[in-house]
């Protein structure tokens, strides 16, 4: 009580605790006193746990209580010698657990907007969404890109992409989390590396993807696709980890659902559509022989033609249109990286207030 309330309010804190234990005045004074004594025993067990286990010294009191109390009672009390004392001690712990659970349920709807108000989460979720926009916008068209631009058969394309996606995806997902943890531990547990690692990976990935899309040799292109997909997969582990650290234990499912909702609604919902639309516009523009002379004018004309429902039937124009559309989508990673670095600016402050 003295640690929870200032010295001048210590008596009021004890009165508040008695009110919680005996809200309707139905408990006898001796029963209330026994509950208070049992709470002192619980505090002693928490102190013993902090002094015994080093990892518990970094936990807050709220987290310690969450880990120690359940519907069966509290932690083992080494100072209660009789069975009746243990039963009374567990009854007090159950009361405290019930009170904390009811209060947590009463405030559960306040926790969802709390994370949405965090600037780091807004930037993180938008960065992940833009990242997914580029990733899905490219992955849906890797197969037609290899078939149109490099004259690969469907068998060669499917076999190559299966190996490239498995190797790059597994390596990138693992390295994203591993590198974030490594650099954070080397710098005193700084959580901002969870944003810096995917941000830097995106910047490196832009040149890697552009080279994979523009070089003429098919084997060099397929070799560059492996690090490109690996660098593109580094964001998932650090993003989910940072999201979970921005909220308490009971709100992690909601925060993860919000992140995945934003990620999928932007990534899967818009990525393939946007890539296909840009590809069709470029194909219409390239099929016009005068496009190279006045490209901006003819791109606007190609847009009007696309909205009118026209399509290009020139195979060379269709292949080049897809290639240049994927290049533009790759450059959009600059926007995503910007929001990752913006999220890193306020990440530590938002975690401290979580």
What is the CA 331 to chain-centroid distance, rounded?
Answer: 22
Q: Which residues, given as ranges, of the chain have pLDDT below 50?
A: 1-10, 12-13, 16, 19, 24, 108-113, 290, 293
DSSP 151: -
Express the helix, strand and coil content of the chain in percent, nearest 5 each.
Answer: 80, 0, 20
> pLDDT tens, 228-245?
999 999 998 899 888 888
Question: Do the Cβ atoms of 223 and 104 come closer than 8 Å?
Answer: no
Rounded to 5°, the CA angle 336-339-342 comes to 155
Distances, alpha carbon 149 to alpha carbons 143, 178, 182, 217, 317, in Å: 10, 36, 40, 10, 10
User: What is the model's pLDDT at position 117?
Assistant: 64
How many whole angstroms separate alpha carbon 298 and alpha carbon 290?
8
How many whole angstroms separate alpha carbon 298 and alpha carbon 285?
6
Question: Do the Cβ atoms of 79 and 41 come closer than 8 Å?
Answer: yes
> pLDDT tens, 66-102?
777 877 777 777 776 677 777 777 788 887 777 777 7
Residues in the chain: 354
User: What is the model's pLDDT at position 209?
Assistant: 92
How many whole angstroms separate alpha carbon 301 and alpha carbon 319?
20
Which CATH architecture fits 111-352? Answer: Up-down Bundle (1.20)
Question: Do the Cβ atoms of 279 and 137 come closer than 8 Å?
Answer: no
| In the chain, ranges of CATH 1.20.1250.20 domains | 111-352
In the block, which residue shows the tokens 């067990």? Answer: 45
User: What is the model's pLDDT at position 280?
Assistant: 86
How many whole angstroms separate alpha carbon 181 and alpha carbon 240?
13
Question: Do the Cβ atoms of 338 and 123 come closer than 8 Å?
Answer: no
């Amino acid at each position: 009580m003295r640690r929870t309330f200032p010295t001048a309010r210590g008596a009021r804190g004890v009165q508040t605790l008695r009110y919680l234990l005996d809200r309707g005045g139905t408990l006898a004074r001796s029963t209330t006193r026994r509950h208070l004594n049992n709470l002192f025993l619980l505090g002693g067990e928490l102190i013993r746990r902090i002094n015994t286990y080093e990892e518990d010294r970094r936990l807050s009191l709220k987290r310690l209580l969450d880990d120690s109390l359940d519907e069966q009672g509290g932690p083992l009390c080494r100072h209660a010698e009789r069975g009746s004392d243990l039963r009374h001690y567990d009854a007090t712990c159950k009361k405290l657990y019930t009170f904390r659970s009811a209060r947590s349920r009463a405030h559960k709807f306040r926790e969802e907007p709390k994370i949405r108000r965090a600037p780091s989460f807004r930037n993180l979720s938008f960065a992940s969404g833009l990242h997914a926009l580029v990733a899905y916008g490219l992955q849906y068209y890797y197969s037609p890109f290899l078939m149109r631009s490099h004259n690969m058969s469907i068998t060669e394309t499917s076999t190559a992409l299966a190996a490239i996606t498995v190797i790059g995806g597994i390596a990138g997902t693992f390295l994203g989390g591993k590198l974030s943890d490594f650099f954070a531990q080397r710098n005193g547990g700084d959580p901002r590396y969870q944003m810096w690692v995917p941000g830097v990976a995106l910047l490196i990935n832009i040149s890697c993807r552009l080279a994979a899309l523009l070089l003429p040799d098919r084997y060099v292109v397929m070799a560059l696709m492996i690090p490109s997909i690996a660098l593109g997969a580094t964001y998932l582990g650090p993003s989910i980890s940072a999201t979970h650290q921005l909220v308490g234990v009971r709100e992690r499912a909601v925060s993860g659902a919000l992140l995945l909702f934003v990620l999928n609604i932007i990534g899967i919902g818009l990525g393939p559509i946007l890539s296909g639309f840009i590809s069709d516009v470029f194909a219409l523009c390239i099929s016009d022989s005068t496009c190279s002379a006045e490209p901006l004018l003819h791109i606007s004309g190609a847009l009007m033609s696309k909205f009118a429902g026209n399509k290009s039937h020139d195979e060379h124009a269709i292949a080049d249109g897809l290639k240049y559309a994927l290049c533009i989508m790759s450059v959009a990673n600059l926007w995503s990286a910007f929001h990752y670095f913006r999220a890193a600016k306020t990440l530590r402050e938002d975690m401290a207030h979580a």
